[in-house]
Structure 1
Amino acid sequence: MEIRDKVAVITGGASGIGAGLAERFAREGARGVVVADMNFERAEGVARGIGAQALAVRCDVSREADIQELVRLARERFGRIDIYFSNAGILGRLGGVELEDALWEKMWQVHGMAHVWAARAVVPEMVERGEGYFLVTASAAGLLNIVESAPYGVTKHAAVAIAEWLRIAYGRKGVRVSCLCPQSVQTDMTRDGTGSAGINGVLTPEQVGEVVVQAMREEKFLALPHPEVAKYFQAKGQDYDRWLGGMQKLYAQHAGGPT
């Protein structure tokens, strides 16, 4: 899909990947760009920088009502939604299954149900038109896991699975679906370091935006800004037990235990 003359909604649009994609979509000639974020002031700043075709909306994606209102406002302003970039995410805290249920639940909402609620709100109109694009930001952790944070790795797996299911269910009905799975990117979440996620270098949002736009043009499911992730994912599929052994060693190094 080409972005020119399309209307795009981007959650987590006030900074990082979301802000970078909002600006890139505008440069690609989008007719409308909706910048959605919990931080309304920063979202407004991004929208002002884009110009008259941008709209800022406060949105907490852990609430379905907020997503419904976001979609309503976008349609009210621009008439339709051609591209929905379900991008918002949270880092949480380091740790495993001992972390409290409230944190796990929040991660499920933001990295799982937010994509479900968004799809529920916009995919039917895309199917009716026979055209639309739904993008999900997961993470390399959604393909490969991450040793530092069980809630993050597990819920990002869910994000990949949701995007995959949408592609299976609606791909022949005109709805394109892509899943963005970067490793470390320069965002507010990664400012203090990313552990093993930064092993292949920290990319800028602009570099990620280039990969996303190209994936949309080619209608590829996986958008992988770090090409090494594809190699790791292939290795995982070819010898799952060996891959798990390597991850166990990485976890032991992280935890300071025996390798």
Structure 2
Amino acid sequence: MDPKNKVIVVTGAAGGIGEALARRFAREGAKLVVVVDRDGERAAAVAAAIGGETVTLDVTDGQAMIDMVADIESRHGGIDLFCSNAGVGEPDTDEQNAASSPDDVWTRAWEVNVMAHVYAARAVIPGMRARGNGYFLNTVSAAGLLSQIGGAAYATTKHAAVGFAESLAITQGDQGIKVSILCPQAVDTAMLRKGDASSQAENIDGVLTPDQVADSVIRGLAAEVFLILPHPIVMTYMQRKAADYDRWIQGMRRLRARLGGARGD
């Protein structure tokens, strides 16, 4: 897929990866980039800089998602690429207990990291099916393919996001609808800068800028591959995990100990 002359929606686009994607799509000649975020003021600033539109929206509001998509389709004739990018992550409350985070942390992670993708698909699939084409780019994380030391709610919901994207690709693929998932490790965003144990584990293979991630997205969309890996080493880790699950878990335990998790430091 080439973003040129396309109508593109990006959620979580007021900063970080989402902002970098919105700006890059504009530079690539997109017909329209819709900058979506619950922080309407910051989203408006991004949209103004790229000549796009702003929608202030909480991605966990399914009806608001439907209304937004209907409005865009009525004015612009359809959405070519929907980037479901918004995400949240919190470390385990007690890093010695993977089940320690309270229910509200798990619920928020589920709503943003999983259900937001579902709400987007519910809103956009009917139009894409009718036109016989369309593209979803769901930002997940390498944590959805591997795991996240010190962040059980994040890792669990990101695994679920991968599963939903696979279902989208399998079910909608013969309808002309394509799907990619973006799965970076560490990216220089506000989430990484928290500096907790989970982010320490994530950044062992280097920290990319959001613009570097956007570069990977452009290449991945051009190739129309399902799995976009800004950190290519993730593929090696996936292969090792699949080849010997027990050995991989032991390796992750050693990494956790190296980071101080086994001592509770």
Q: TM-score range by the shorter chain?
A: over 0.9
One-letter identity of the residue aligned with 2:262: G
Matched, 1:220 2:225: yes
C-alpha distance in 2 between matches for 1:71 and 1:94: 35
C-alpha distance in 1 between matches for 2:193 and 2:208: 12
TM-score by length of 1: 0.95
Task: State the partner residue of 1:18.
Answer: 18
> Which of residues 238, 250, 254 is equivalent to 1:249?
254
Give the superposition deviation at 1:20.
Answer: 0.4
C-alpha distance in 2 between matches for 1:69 and 1:185: 32
Task: State the partner residue of 1:31.
Answer: 31
Task: State the partner residue of 1:2.
Answer: 2
Give the superposition deviation at 1:255.
Answer: 1.6
Do the aligned partners of 2:9 and 2:79 also contact (CA within 8 Å) in 1? yes
Deviation digits for residues 205-246 of structure 1 (CA, Å, limit 9, x no counterpart):
111011111111111000000011111011111111110111
Task: State the partner residue of 1:99.
Answer: 101
One-letter identity of the residue aligned with 2:261: A
Do the aligned partners of 2:8 and 2:81 also contact (CA within 8 Å) in 1? yes
> Which of residues 135, 138, 141 is equivalent to 1:139?
141
Deviation digits for residues 98-154 of structure 1 (CA, Å, limit 9, x no counterpart):
211111011001011110111011012112211100011100000000111100000
> Which of residues 197, 201, 204 is equivalent to 1:199?
204
Which residues of 2 match residues 67-216 of structure 1 at below 5 A? 67-95=65-93, 96-193=98-195, 194-216=199-221
C-alpha distance in 2 between matches for 1:181 and 1:134: 14
- Across the aligned residues of Structure 1 and Structure 2, the Cα RMSD in angstroms comes to 1.4
Do the aligned partners of 2:14 and 2:36 also contact (CA within 8 Å) in 1? yes
Task: State the partner residue of 1:233.
Answer: 238
Query: Which ranges of structure 2 fall in alignment gaps of 5 or more residues?
Result: none
Deviation digits for residues 44-96 of structure 1 (CA, Å, limit 9, x no counterpart):
00000001xx1011111122122223213322442311100000001223342
Task: State the partner residue of 1:59.
Answer: 57
Do the aligned partners of 1:148 and 1:195 also contact (CA within 8 Å) in 2? no
Aligned length: 256
SS at match of 1:35: strand
Give the superposition deviation at 1:257.
Answer: 3.5
**Identity of matched residues, %:** 48
C-alpha distance in 1 between matches for 2:38 and 2:257: 36
C-alpha distance in 2 between matches for 1:232 and 1:125: 37
One-letter identity of the residue aligned with 1:246: G
Query: Which ranges of structure 1 fall in alignment gaps of 5 or more residues?
Result: none
